[in-house]
Structure 1
């Protein structure tokens, strides 16, 4: 029985680690971990979460096992979060036992969109913001160029495993360096819109939204940690933009 409990404890910890690493909010992580444990026959499941690790305790026939896992950030991926939720539901309905669930978790891998599709869509989304804000087609084109090149640069830095803060600062610098040219050469009806719209792809909305959700739902430490990380990303973006403005001498919409 202790062998079964250890296997289930590892399963619960692995599911929680995957959820936390891919951006799920803390309430969902704790809820899914408890549901998996109860669906596997555990009497009690207790979960403690922190910004970079988790602790899970299972109780089965009077025996208690506690395990700790470190959770490295793997980037936002709602496909993984959805797949883990689906495995949990299948366990609750008796379709999977803990062995099959472990096998499915071991073979879960995040799907990635084609990088060129991402670059084009990011460019179009930022350019659309500029267009909606009153920019003409020249502003649209310059915003598309700046944000697409910036996204390419961001992907290249991420593939080389640079620190996210450095990645965001450098991407903001490169993107702003290109967008300031619209102001320097007076391209379009409102060239400053290019500078404002092209860096919107860097806004860390997901961490900030999750931080508020965590604090409202009782996970204050997690919320503060995520808010601090989102704020640091925002600071990095600002430093990159200001550095580009300083280099080019174009202050644009910051004036």
Structure 2
């Protein structure tokens, strides 16, 4: 029985680790971990979450096991979170047992969209914002070029596993340098719109939403940690923009 409890405890910890590492909100992480444990036959499951780790305690036939796991940030990926939820539902319905659930968790891979599709769609989304802000088609094209170039830089730095703060600062710098050419050469009817719209891809919307959701649902420490991280990403973006503006000598859109 002790071997079963150890296996289930590891299963719960692995599920929580995957959820937290890929951007799930804290309430979802805690609820799913408890559901995994109860569905696998545990009498009681307690979960403690922090910004970079989880602690799980399982109780089975009056025997207690506690385990801890670190949760490094793996990037937001809703596919992983959805797959973990599906495995939990199958376990609850008796379709699979805890050993099969363990195998299915191991088989989950964080598949991502084709990188060039992401580059094009990010470019189009930022360019669409420039049109909404009153820019003409020249502004649209320049915004597309600047934001697409910035996204390529962001992907390349991310693939090399650099610090996210450095990634955001470098991406903002390159994007602003490219978009500033519209101001320097007076391209389009509102060239400053290019500089403002092309860096919108760096707004950390998902971490900010999760931060507010966590704080509203009682996970104050998690919410504060995520809010601080989102604020640091915003600060890094601002530093990159200011550095680029200092280099090219264009300050108009922030005055």
Equivalent pair of 1:195/1:252 in contact (CA under 8 Å): no
Q: How many residues align?
A: 255
Partner of 1:151: 151
Offset from partner CA, 1:159-206 (integer Å, 9 cap, x none): 111100000000000000001110111100011100000000000001
Is 1:175 aligned to residue 205 of structure 2? no
Partner of 1:25: 25
Partner of 1:81: 81
User: Which 5+ residue runs of structure 2 have no aligned equivalent?
Assistant: none
In 2, the alpha carbon distance for the partners of 1:10 and 1:83 equals 18
In 2, the alpha carbon distance for the partners of 1:179 and 1:48 equals 45
Deviation at 1:252, TM superposition (A): 2.2
* TM-score, with length taken from structure 2: 0.99
User: Which 5+ residue runs of structure 1 have no aligned equivalent?
Assistant: none
* TM-score, with length taken from structure 1: 0.99
Deviation at 1:112, TM superposition (A): 1.1
SS of the counterpart of 1:42?
A: coil
Equivalent pair of 1:175/1:199 in contact (CA under 8 Å): yes
Deviation at 1:133, TM superposition (A): 1.2
In 2, the alpha carbon distance for the partners of 1:252 and 1:171 equals 20
In 1, the alpha carbon distance for the partners of 2:96 and 2:72 equals 27
In 1, the alpha carbon distance for the partners of 2:143 and 2:31 equals 42
Within 5 A, what are the aligned runs for 1:1-255?
A: 1-255=1-255
Deviation at 1:230, TM superposition (A): 0.2
